[in-house]
């Protein structure tokens, strides 16, 4: 993985909430590989996996704390002695939030307020948090620009927009240095292929490999700005270590700036696996956005963000991971 910072971080301490999850574990890996003084993970293992962070156990700079962000005491303990926070802990998935909006709200809104309050009280230097492209809702224009959002289409989107509102207020009211990252369809190694809310790429890989049913929602022509996880790691590192004061108190698109249809994705995976397994089409999902494409100029300008992995390059690495090659 490329290096996304120039500072010496050997004297700095980092907290990654949701650090046993897909994106979080990659952030932890980057920090430890690049000389961080201390990296603490807070995770309740509801959707994350201890397997994702077991590889760090032998590193004395790494600390794992099992706990829930809905518990204020846990959040306070996690922030003790911490310089920089990357808040990834959340209940993802639009369909999960449609089915159970209450739990999504408890984790993603109440849990967020607990964490940002604990970070404020601990006087952390920076607080970076995961938002989502779902906040664009039914805003029809492409590419998506940070200052244009539409009607929200799911409880999940509401929770992420609420995070942005709280972060903005905490920045203005308490002088916190906060950065929000609107992720666009992040994918890569360690993404969970199991369970009812598994992400689409590991599901496709697993189904094609095992020749089990693979479902595509709607006609498959919906488009997404698929973003390799290394790009999401970069945005978090640049956000936490940013020296540009104008960059704080903002939200940024984290993507590549190119979109592909789900059908194109499916066929690309089939080609990489040298398989001809056919997909099964079914009804479109409620709450889903039809087309997605990010304008990443703001992140480039203020954070110095520049994607290091394009879609097909990242897809090849991901398929190799899931096939053990």
DSSP string, 23-77: HHHHHHHHHHHTT-SEEEEEE--SSS-GGGTGGGTT-TTEEEEE--TT-HHHHHH
Contact between residue 20 and residue 49 where contact means Cβ atoms under 8 Å apart: yes
How far is Cα 114 from Cα 178, in angstroms, rounded to an integer?
15
pTM summary value = 0.96
Kindly name the residue from 129, 156, 248, 305 that is annotated as catalytic: 156
Residue 321 is a catalytic residue = no
The pLDDT of residue 110 is 98
pLDDT digits (tens, 9 = 90+) for 41-54: 999 999 999 999 99
Average pLDDT of the chain?
95
Calculate what percentage of the chain has a pLDDT beyond 70.
98
Read off φ and ψ for residue 179, nearest 5 degrees.
-135, 130
283 three-state secondary structure: coil
The pLDDT of residue 192 is 83
pLDDT digits (tens, 9 = 90+) for 60-97: 999 999 999 999 999 999 999 999 999 999 998 888 99
The pLDDT of residue 94 is 86
Decide if pLDDT at 98 tops 70: yes
pLDDT digits (tens, 9 = 90+) for 246-301: 999 999 999 999 999 999 999 999 999 999 999 999 998 776 778 899 999 999 99
Q: How confident is the model at residue 240 (pLDDT cuts 50, 70, 90)?
A: very high
The pLDDT of residue 113 is 98
Copy the structure tokens of residue 45: 């293992």
Domain boundaries, the chain: 13-186+228-255+294-307
CATH T-level fold of 13-186+228-255+294-307: Rossmann fold (3.40.50)
Q: How confident is the model at residue 16 (pLDDT cuts 50, 70, 90)?
A: very high
């Amino acid at each position: 993985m490329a290096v996304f910072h120039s500072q010496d971080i050997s004297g700095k301490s980092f907290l990654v909430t949701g650090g046993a999850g897909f994106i979080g574990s990659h952030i932890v890996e980057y920090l430890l590989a690049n000389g961080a003084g201390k990296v603490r993970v807070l995770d309740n293992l509801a959707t994350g996996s201890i397997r994702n962070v077991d590889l760090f156990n032998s590193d004395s700079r790494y600390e794992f704390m099992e706990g829930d962000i809905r518990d204020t005491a846990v959040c306070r303990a996690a922030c003790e002695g911490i310089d920089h926070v990357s808040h990834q802990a959340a209940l993802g998935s639009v369909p999960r939030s449609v089915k159970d909006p209450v739990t999504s709200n408890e984790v993603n809104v109440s849990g967020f307020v607990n964490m940002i309050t604990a970070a404020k009280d601990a006087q952390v230097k920076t607080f970076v948090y995961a938002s989502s492209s779902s906040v664009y809702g039914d805003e029809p224009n492409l590419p998506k620009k940070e200052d244009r959002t539409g009607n929200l289409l799911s409880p999940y989107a509401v929770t992420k927009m609420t995070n942005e509102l709280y972060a903005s207020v905490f920045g203005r009211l308490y002088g916190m240095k906060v950065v929000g990252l609107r992720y666009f369809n992040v994918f890569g190694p360690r993404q969970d292929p199991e369970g009812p809310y598994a992400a689409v790429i590991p599901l496709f890989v697993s189904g094609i490999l095992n020749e089990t049913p693979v479902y595509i929602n709607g006609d498959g022509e919906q488009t997404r700005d698929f973003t390799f996880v290394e790009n999401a790691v970069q945005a978090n590192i640049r956000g936490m270590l940013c020296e540009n004061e104008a960059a704080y108190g903002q939200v940024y698109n984290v993507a590549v700036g190119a979109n592909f249809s789900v059908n194109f994705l499916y066929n690309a995976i089939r080609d990489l696996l040298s398989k001809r397994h056919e997909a099964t089409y079914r009804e479109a999902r409620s709450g889903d956005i039809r087309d997605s494409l990010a304008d990443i100029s703001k992140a480039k300008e203020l954070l110095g963000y520049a994607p290091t992995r394009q879609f097909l390059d990242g897809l090849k690495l991901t398929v190799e991971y899931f096939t053990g090659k």
